[in-house]
Structure 1
Amino acid sequence: MKKLLLITLLAAFIGCKKDAANKAGLKGSWEYRGTACYCLAATDTNAKKPGNGNIIIFADNTYKRFAKDTLKKSGTYVVVKDTLGPQPVNRIIYDNDTASDKIFFRMDQNKLTFFGQTPLAADGPEYYYERIKS
Structure 2
Amino acid sequence: MSAFSMYMDGNAALDVTPEQRRPQPSFTVVPGCVQRPSVPQPAPLHGVQAAGVVILAVAVLVCFAVFGLQVTGNQQRAFETALATTEQTSIRVQPGDSLWSLAQEYPVDGLSSSDTSDLIAAWNSLDDAFLQPGMELLVPAA
TM-score, normalization by structure 2: 0.29
Considering fraction of residues, name the structure with more helix.
Answer: 2
Q: Which has the larger radius of gyration?
A: 2
Taking CA–CA contacts closer than 8 Å with sequence separation of 6 or more, which of the two structures ends up with the larger relative contact order?
1
TM-score, normalization by structure 1: 0.30
